[in-house]
Structure 1
Amino acid sequence: MRVLRAADYRVMPWKNGGGTTTEIAVFPDGAGLDKFDWRVSMARVEGSGPFSSFAGIDRTLSVLEGDGVVLDVASQPAARLTPASAPFSFPADLPTSAALIAGPITDLNVMTRRGRTLHSVERLAISRPVDVTIRAGSTLILCHKGEAVFPEAGSIRLGPLDTLLIGPDTPVLKIEPAWGTTLFVVRITAAA
């Protein structure tokens, strides 16, 4: 179990050079954009335009801040994503473009290498203690808004945009909201 503080995240340029991304975690540690098995990051999107292409990667996008974005992924119907939308999954190697709805956004971006790893992303708004089931692989809990306390893990406290990275050794983890808490739970497992 490892606490990742927002102040320590690595900021780096987008693959297409159109902006910057804030890397929360990557595996293997320190892996570059062409070598990771999985990667979780946030990006500030200032304008409409094409997404970077990542060969062999599956991607899930969630809007954290801003009014939202409309994604056009290859020949699929356009997807309108807002802070209230469910996370949206799509192949990162299909031509994709984004049109901002009304100004810049910040998004959460989860990517896994097809054939090696799989992922799921869940948004949780909690107002009372909840138990989160941890599965084999890695689980990341990002505190989007508010605060989250983990009483059975030494009372670890996460503030906004801090993350708890958990291995498979903890089957269930209790989370207590400190105030107005929204979390993202990212589960990453090996592909079958």
Structure 2
Amino acid sequence: MQIIRFADIKPQPWRNGGGVTRELASHRGAASADDGAWDWRVSIADVTKAGDYSAFPGMERLLTVVEGELLLLSVDGAEHPLEKYRPFRFPGGAASSSALPTGDVRNLNVITREGAFRAYASIIELSKKRAHPVFAGQLGILLQGQAAVSHGNAVSEDAPVPLDRYDAVVGSDSQTPEILGRGFLAVVSIDPVAG
């Protein structure tokens, strides 16, 4: 079972210097050999001032506000008010910027290479009675509350491992991790595009 501890990740400046991000996971594959970039990346960014976003031509972005109330996102001149826990998809190469009408926000960002991968994000409410499995190709990220993760379909004597806010659990189809608790979990799926 793999847990990515948010507290251990050093913040990195955005490409354009407009904020900081913490990379939870990324993948570099054959499609990235030409430009040296990743094929997909999952990160959490702090947005503390209005301004432009870095451009990622040839990529698709899936952005979810996970802390704060509202982000006013402008994509190619069209404004989109993004409320907490509502994922929004847009082209990575689009001219995009944001305003912060209600103060600072923190975003969950999933960026995928167009034509190679497609990302999905679901925000679910956790239960203490019914564990939520995290399968291969998924990350489970604790957004709020208290939770612990254990091996779900394997016989294990190990006690559940507590999660801190923004810790990520890497999914698996063998010994599938299961998360129990109270709060909200982001389940990010990265699917290869067929063809």
What is the TM-score normalised by the length of structure 2? Answer: 0.84
CA contact (8 A) 1:10 1:24 kept: no
Aligned to 1:68: 70
CA distance in 1 between partners of 2:36 and 2:92 (Å): 13
Which residues of 2 match residues 114-125 of structure 1 at below 5 A?
114-125=114-125
CA contact (8 A) 2:65 2:86 kept: no
SS of the equivalent of 2:7 reads helix
Aligned to 1:18: 18
Cα shift at 1:113:
0.9
Cα shift at 1:75:
4.9
CA contact (8 A) 1:130 1:175 kept: yes
CA-based RMSD: 2.3
CA 1:23–1:141: 2 relative to 1, 3 Å: same
CA distance in 2 between partners of 1:35 and 1:168 (Å): 28
Aligned to 1:165: 170
Give structure 2 stretches of 5+ with no counterpart. Answer: 153-157
Question: Is residue 80 from structure 1 mapped to residue 81 from structure 2 by the alignment?
Answer: yes
Cα shift at 1:28:
3.1
Kindly provide the amino acid, as one letter, of the partner of residue 178 in structure 2.
K
CA contact (8 A) 1:117 1:191 kept: yes
Cα shift at 1:130:
3.6
CA distance in 2 between partners of 1:162 and 1:133 (Å): 13
SS of the equivalent of 1:10 reads coil
Question: Is residue 111 from structure 1 mapped to residue 111 from structure 2 by the alignment?
Answer: yes
Cα shift at 1:104:
1.2
Aligned to 1:176: 180
Aligned to 2:155: none
Aligned to 2:144: 145
What is the TM-score normalised by the length of structure 1? Answer: 0.85
Give CA-to-partner distance per residue, 1:87-129, whole Å, 9 cap, x none: 1111111111111122111111111111111110011122342
CA 1:11–1:107: 2 relative to 1, 3 Å: same
Give CA-to-partner distance per residue, 1:55-102, whole Å, 9 cap, x none: 1111111112122211111154x211122x411111111111111122
CA distance in 2 between partners of 1:106 and 1:166 (Å): 23
Give CA-to-partner distance per residue, 1:106-162, whole Å, 9 cap, x none: 111111111111110011122342433625xx2100011122223335423312111
Kindly provide the amino acid, as one letter, of the partner of residue 22 in structure 1.
R
SS of the equivalent of 1:52 reads coil
CA contact (8 A) 2:13 2:21 kept: yes
Kindly provide the amino acid, as one letter, of the partner of residue 125 in structure 1.
E
Cα shift at 1:173:
4.8
Cα shift at 1:18:
1.3
Q: How many positions carry a matched residue from both structures?
A: 183
CA contact (8 A) 1:118 1:190 kept: yes
* Percent of residue pairs bearing the same amino acid type: 32
CA distance in 2 between partners of 1:16 and 1:126 (Å): 36
Cα shift at 1:168:
4.2
Deviating beyond 4 angstroms after TM superposition, the runs of 4 or more aligned structure 1 residues are none
